[in-house]
Amino acid sequence: MGSVGGLAGEPVRSARSGRVSTGAQLDALSGAVEDLAGQFALQPLLHRILRRAVALLGAGAGSISTVDERAGTYRKEADLGVGCQEGRVFPLAEGATGAVVARRGPCVFDSYSEVRGGHVDPADRERLHATVAVPIEWRGDVIGVCVVFSTDPTTRFTGEDVDLLGLFARHAAIAITNARLHREAEERTRSLAVGAERERVVRDVHDTVARALGSIITHMDAAEVHDPAGRLDAARAAARAALAETRRTVLGLGPSLLDLPTLDDALAVELDWVRSTAGIRTGLVATGERRPLDADLEAVALRLVQEALTNVVTHAAASHVRVGVMYGADELSVVVEDDGRGFDPHDASVRRAGLGLTGIVTRARRLGAELGIESTPGWGTRIRLRVPYAPEGAVAGAAGGTACRVLVVDRRPVVRAGLVRLLGRAEPDVQVVGEVADAREALDAVRVLEPDVVLLDLRMPGFDGARLTSYVRAANPATAVLVMTDDLGDDLLKEAVHAGARGCVGTELDGPAVVRAVLAAARGDALLSERVLRGFADRDRPAPEALTDREREVRALVERGLPDKKIASVLGIAVKTVEKHVGAVLRKTGAPNRTALAHRAARR
């Protein structure tokens, strides 16, 4: 191995002497920097860096390898002007790369024949002469080696050449680190997405099994009269037990990190990932008296932190991130703060580009949690989650806790399947608890499943929608009924409304529109358009009005579709007082119900 300045006693000619101008050198270095901007594909970047380095040093060939000192190997990533061995892995004790790693610094050879264990193809060996190799370093570690070969036998590489190649090695270090960081962030994002999809699929399985078991229970109840021996009682109990066990199994699923002893331990593992991946300083602060946490609450808190930390690593360009966990008397608070570039929370394009918290927002809302995101461009981001502890003895995240329970009744299997899919996909706060094809079975299903809303076809065989509405309301007055029809002038629609239906939906509606109608019906809102109301013919003429001023105020609000609780809030009176006034208005006007009263208002 020659010295950095060449062999003593021989004339030394720099590889760049008289060949490359200073302006060209600056252009090559600037071009190498520009290549790095926003690029994460490793091989194309290394090829461009290598071409610029070889050209600037006036050489004819070169290579760049990545080094894995733990494995004792290096991998050829880019070759130029020599037999292509890209992708091959060699022992770290061989070649110019091995010599650089062993020396922990640059190596200069006056002839390639001096390189021990070189891997250049024999056909290329004779034309390679002076060789210079420099380490590619990142934070004190050798992560690669850049090698340049001269094809001119009179060329010797100087210390100036070593320094110049070292600049390109720094560019290569940035390219290798960025590519690794980007790859790890992508793998982590993909892992989180797979986990979220797994949970969604499992919950879909749960809903399917729940509907099937609910139908079994319904059939058992209907057939009970023919089973004096009581065998159906045992079968019904087994089905209900299976349904409960399915729910517990599904809702118990969570990220594998929750297998650790505490949430704090799981968060510490996540912060270790941030440090090892991006070199970001991290901190974990836990305050308050620790207590056992609901499984779904832990899953929401952990998933929030995972998503937030992935965003920090991928987008924030932060130097420090801190996670705080506060165990309060009534709620758990989790805060994730970074000092990165920040963003405008009101910019919809930024949120779509990668905030990645949509699913967390939904799950947090279902637990009665609050999620706040504070960020200012240039001043970092702060995400805060506040989740109330689960009530003592409650089943974690029980599907019936806050979700609106819906029973679908339609004679057509395709329509039932489509509605189930639309409702399930459009809104996690809606749970389809059963689907029935026969009107007679619907009544048993209402008694057993106790849905909040029954969505039924107006033209059901056996019992039409109007009769079925009256039977459903008699079986469970708390259940709201929505009828489906495309004919808004159908006489049956008028009869269904008089029987107590909250409204109607057309089959032209998309999933979100159907969900809005279902949730509105569950709240007690009337869902009849002005067109539908005007199409009704009054069965009875209204009696002359003799309303008090307060009754007129109540009537006006009822005609707007407001429920009693909202009317009480608007007028500043008790709900019981509102109910009394509503009864008086219905009696004095002769309207059979609130819907008919709204219909009369639309006609005026």
Residue 16 lies in a domain: no
CA-to-CA distance for 556 and 544, rounded, in angstroms? 17
Which CATH number does the domain housing residue 454 bear? 3.40.50.2300
Contact 87, 76 (CB under 8 A): yes
Can you give the pLDDT at residue 284? 92
Question: Quick one: 212 and 303 in the same domain?
Answer: no
Which CATH number does the domain housing residue 293 bear? 3.30.565.10
Q: Show Cβ contacts of residue 229 under 8 Å, excluding neighbours closer than 6 positions.
A: none
What order do you get walking across the sheet with 73-80 strand by strand? 89-91, 73-80, 61-68, 141-149, 131-138, 107-109
pLDDT < 70: residue spans in the chain: 1-40, 84, 193-260, 296, 345-368, 390-402, 424-429, 507-512, 525-545, 592, 596, 598-604
Structural domains counted in the chain = 5
CA-to-CA distance for 432 and 365, rounded, in angstroms? 19
Q: For 271-289, give the DSSP string.
A: HHHHHHHH--EEEEEEEE-
Question: Quick one: 155 and 240 in the same domain?
Answer: no
Nearest CA among 75, 134, 132, 76 for reference residue 104: 134
Nearest CA among 555, 511, 507, 506 for reference residue 527: 506
CA-to-CA distance for 211 and 514, rounded, in angstroms? 20
Among residues 226, 251, 276, the one where a domain terminates is 251
Nearest CA among 524, 432, 520 for reference residue 478: 524
Nearest CA among 47, 103, 31, 101 for reference residue 72: 101
Q: How far is CA 158 from the centre of its chain?
A: 55
Nearest CA among 66, 60, 34, 68 for reference residue 49: 34
Question: Quick one: 529 and 426 in the same domain?
Answer: yes
pLDDT in tens, 487-524: 777 777 878 888 888 878 876 666 667 777 788 788 77
Residue 415 tokens read as: 């329509």
Q: Show Cβ contacts of residue 95 under 8 Å, excluding neighbours closer than 6 positions.
A: 74, 115, 116, 117, 118, 119
Which CATH number does the domain housing residue 91 bear? 3.30.450.40
CA-to-CA distance for 588 and 244, rounded, in angstroms? 49
Residue 543 lies in a domain: no
Start-to-end CA distance of the chain, whole Å, equals 103
CA-to-CA distance for 168 and 321, rounded, in angstroms? 31
Residue 397 lies in a domain: no
CA-to-CA distance for 401 and 395, rounded, in angstroms? 9
Can you give the pLDDT at residue 294? 75
Contact 354, 314 (CB under 8 A): yes
Which burial class, exposed, middle or buried, applies to 555 when counting CB atoms under 10 A from its CB (0-12, 13-18, 19+)?
buried
State whether residue 188 is helix, strand or coil.
helix
CA-to-CA distance for 593 and 500, rounded, in angstroms? 8
Residue 494 lies in a domain: yes
Side-chain half-sphere of 362: how many Cα atoms within 13 Å?
A: 12
Question: Quick one: 408 and 370 in the same domain?
Answer: no
Domain limits at 217? 197-251
Which CATH number does the domain housing residue 586 bear? 1.10.10.10
Q: How far is CA 111 from the centre of its chain?
A: 57
Residue 193 tokens read as: 């997405």
Question: Quick one: 302 and 372 in the same domain?
Answer: yes
Side-chain half-sphere of 474: how many Cα atoms within 13 Å?
A: 10
DSSP category for residue 69? T
Residue 365 lies in a domain: yes
Question: Quick one: 419 and 519 in the same domain?
Answer: yes
Among residues 182, 208, 235, the one where a domain terminates is 182
Question: Quick one: 315 and 339 in the same domain?
Answer: yes
Residue 271 lies in a domain: yes
Contact 341, 378 (CB under 8 A): yes
Nearest CA among 360, 598, 393, 375 for reference residue 502: 598
Question: Quick one: 338 and 450 in the same domain?
Answer: no
Q: Where do the DSSP E strands lie in 89-217? A: 89-91, 107-109, 131-138, 141-149
Residue 520 lies in a domain: yes
CA-to-CA distance for 173 and 143, rounded, in angstroms? 7
Can you give the pLDDT at residue 241? 52
CA-to-CA distance for 251 and 246, rounded, in angstroms? 9
Q: Show Cβ contacts of residue 308 under 8 Å, excluding neighbours closer than 6 positions.
A: 336, 357, 383
Residue 189 lies in a domain: no
Can you give the pLDDT at residue 541? 46
CA-to-CA distance for 106 and 158, rounded, in angstroms? 11
Question: Quick one: 420 and 492 in the same domain?
Answer: yes
Question: Quick one: 150 and 278 in the same domain?
Answer: no
Among residues 535, 558, 583, the one where a domain terminates is 535
Question: Quick one: 379 and 260 in the same domain?
Answer: yes
Question: Quick one: 37 and 169 in the same domain?
Answer: yes
